[in-house]
Amino acid sequence: MRIYKPMDAIKDLNELGVALSREKSQEHLLELILIIAKKLTHSDAGTLFMMDDDGNLRFEVIRTDSLGFAMGGTTGNDIPFPPVRLHDEHGRANLEQVVACSVLHDKTINIPDAYTATDFDFSGTRAFDAKTGYRSTSFLCVPMKDHNGDIIGVLELINALDAEGKEITAFGKRDEQLAESLASQAAVALTNKRLIEEMRILFESFIQLIATAIDKKSTHTGAHCTRVPELTLMLAEAASRQDSGPLQDFTLDDGGRYELEIAAWLHDCGKITTPEYVVEKSTKLETICDRINLINARFASLHLMADYEYADAKRNCRSDDAESLREIEQSYQDKIKQIEDDRQFLRRCNTGGEFMREEDQDRVRRIATQTWRNAEREEVPLLTEEEVKNLTIAKGTLLPEEREIINDHIVMTIKMLESLPFPKHLRNVPEFAGGHHERMDGKGYPNGLVREQMSVQARTMAIADIFEALTASDRPYKKAMPISRALQILGNMKLDNHIDPDLFDVFVREKVYEDYARQYLRPEQLDEMLATNRVVRF
């Protein structure tokens, strides 16, 4: 007669409940479920099956104590057996195998002796016994059902032992109750963990989808939103390794790393609200289309008008007046040349650049005073006030108000992220993501924060954001910058109190830039600084 100890059973079930709520490893959890099930039912062997995506039972953990046999779980020993099919290729139910029948009929099956049972096919079990000298006698199969009543797996326990652990006995009613209680508790916990994991995957995929959409929104951003997280984490991890100096107290555990990674993926999410005509403004006159083509059409009209005037002047000139004809010809050629020079000049102005000279801006204004006849035959200025305003932009292609729209993306990023109900472990995401355009001296935006008001993570992202933008090779408006030049610019930013000096020192000293460059930059960007293994100092 087997002796049950209710308090021990309650203790084991409580132990499982605690473990299920704390354990993060799926393999360890599954292994623990089978071990405690064997312990509660005092059984020598057991197998835990889980339902796979095809609706079959996949072997997860196998244990046979008397044989020292252990596979699956955390053992590192793969289970070579194929899944147990619930239906054959013709759709017929597999009622011959006990674990399949337990699922199909949604019931616990208790078999005192497999060698005398006639309802199931135990030929495979007998073959195993013949090979190993084992005798698989009593079986207890319990479906594992989640809170929705769906079966997610099966517990198969083999060979219940007597109190001394020597003789094989049948599983009793109390064993069934304990195994069912454990299976129910385990199934709900496993389902909850699966749902949490699925929600995590969905959350991360959605974040990456937003980042990818922002990158695809403009050819000017390239893969910025997907690369900044990589570089941010590289620098943050290097900073966390410092055992002396100003960053020695900065640590980055798994939770902190995950929080920073999410923030980095979302650092430019506000750009989703930025109008495309601003993001895509690669020339000064670009909106939906590049309006330089409209100006080209006006110059073509001027050219045509010059042709008419030339032809008319020749008609009104005596054919034997060679001097007048030469003057008419020269005047025509000079006018055509001036028209073409002005047209080409405006095309060059339209491309933008680092600096536009004041005299060039004045020339644009002088050209604007010329007139042409529009489709209504009205005489109007060659350039509108708005076109003059754009073509005289001194730096880049954006007007001050358009630059404000671009800069406003970080304001929108902060507003969007602060409106989200982030869980406790992600509560710093808005601050990390929202600070990458701030400066150490308080001259950044949007909040004018100084270094002491910013987290290390936000300061890290600021450096990553700048370095990625400087070295990106997928921007159509600029060439890929070599590493040495990018580091020189960052070094000047350090001296100008723009970026965090301590983090930049780590960036250089730990050669974070080199690790990033070898993964993401073009070979020609790995210039002589890497070739000579030289470290830049500022």
Fold of 6-196: Beta-Lactamase (3.30.450)
Average pLDDT of the chain is 86
Residues 6 or more apart whose Cβ sits within 8 Å of residue 457 = 236, 256, 260, 263, 428, 431, 432
Q: How confident is the model at residue 535 (pLDDT cuts 50, 70, 90)?
A: very low
Return the structure tokens found at 407: 């800069």
3-state helix, strand and coil shares in percent for the chain, rounded to the nearest 5: 55, 10, 35
**Is 532's pLDDT higher than 50?**
no
pLDDT computed for residue 1 by the predictor: 42
Nearby residues of 154 by Cβ (< 8 Å), 6 or more positions away: 48, 49, 57, 99, 102, 103, 141, 142, 143, 144
Per-residue pLDDT for 215 more than 80? no
pLDDT, one tens digit per residue, over 293-349 is 888 888 888 888 888 888 888 888 887 788 888 888 899 899 999 999 999 999 988
pLDDT number for residue 165: 76
- The reported pLDDT for the residue numbered 469 is 86
- pTM for the structure as a whole: 0.69
> What one-character-per-residue DSSP string does 113-156 give?
-TTT--SS--HHHHHHHHHHS-----EEEEEEE-TTS-EEEEEE
Q: What is the pLDDT of residue 422?
A: 93
Per-residue pLDDT averaged across 472-499, rounded? 82
- Span 42-52, average pLDDT: 95
CA-closest candidate to residue 395, choices 442, 360, 446: 360
Question: In this model, does residue 286 exceed pLDDT 80?
Answer: no
Give the model's confidence band at 240: pLDDT under 50 very low, under 70 low, under 90 confident, else very high.
very high
pLDDT tens digit sequence for 360-412 = 999 999 999 998 888 788 888 999 898 888 888 887 777 777 777 776 778 88
Q: How is domain 218-269+411-531 classified at the CATH fold level?
A: Hypothetical protein af1432 (1.10.3210)
Q: Mean of the pLDDT values across residues 411-437?
A: 92
Q: What is the pLDDT of residue 340?
A: 92
Same CATH topology for 6-196 and 218-269+411-531: the answer is no
Q: Where exactly are the structural domains of the chain?
A: 6-196, 218-269+411-531, 292-397
Asked if residue 529 has pLDDT above 70, the reply is no
